[in-house]
Chain A
Amino acid sequence: MARRKVKPKLDVDSRAEVGYADDEPSAFASMLGGLIEANIRTRPEKARDFESLVARVGIFVTDIHEGVTLDFKGGNLVVHNGLKPRRTLTIRTDAETVMSLSNLKIGPFGLPVYYDEVGRGVATKLLRGKLKIDGLLTNVMTLNTVTRIFSVQ
């Protein structure tokens, strides 16, 4: 598969880099990649998580039938169009819940907050099966790290 050259980081204080595996990243891939890039560029605590995370995370948006794979490689991220094999975690939900996930507040000990309005909404969707996370039981810490990197709060 063609691999586009990784874009240079804008912040010289960090080595973090976000790139795209496909010549034409989907709008969803560009948005997630752009969101993570902006987060790690402006928030040192998120950049630290990004530096340490090694995992392949799939996100599939059920109501637009589009997915991406975020391949975190300890300070680098390659965003793929579609779901790729050997994923650590796969999140399947609708577009609105993807937005809610990125709005989860981060509380004490770096844990996502599930007791405020946004958090309760996410937890309810999980309990009702409208948010499915494959690989959750064995990768809770990874999910928390991804959530911290992904969250704009």
Chain B
Amino acid sequence: MAVKAFSNEWAKEFKDEVNRSSVYKTAAKGWKWTVGLVVEAEPDKHFPEAKGIVMDLFDGEARDVTVGPASEAQKCDFVITAPYSRWKEVATKQLDATRGMLQGKLKLKGDLPTIVRYTKASQEMTECTTRVPVEWPDEK
């Protein structure tokens, strides 16, 4: 059953999806930093307020994924920021996250060598988002 985009239900489904992935578990061995996703508001797409997703990831496991204000996500060790519609493109496989970062469509803040070292883990995490059925506010 589809869940509302970037809601608490979505966060739970996403966390479970990450923890079901053996690829992520292997690729993210040694990862010990928090990751924040900032979803910028797009009122014309029925996404009126920015949201922050805080991911507590540790050694191949998603210990917690929560949705809250953008300011919380901005405190994480790594922060990826993009407008709502860009995140939707990522989650629906219309935009590859690696290409998106190289093109500046997704803005990354954090230690670059570390994130590059874990490219495979971040690619699998993106795959996990695509496996969560989502109800998009601009498609209602």
Contacts and interface: CB of A to CB of B under 8 A. Distances in A.
Interface of A: 26-28, 30-31, 34-35, 38-39, 42, 61, 63-64, 66, 95-96, 98-100, 102-103, 152-153
Given A63-B99, A95-B99, A27 B116 contact: no
A28 B103 contact: yes
A103 to B, nearest CB: 6
Contacts of B111: 38
Contacts of B117: 103, 152-153
B101 A27 contact: yes
Determine the interface band of chain B, counting residues with CB < 8 A from chain A: 10 to 19
Contacts of B1: none
B122 to A, nearest CB: 10
B139 to A, nearest CB: 27
B22 interface: no
Contacts of A26: 104
Nearest to A27: B104
A31 B96 CA distance: 17
B103 A39 contact: no
Interface string B91-123: 000001011011111011001111011010000
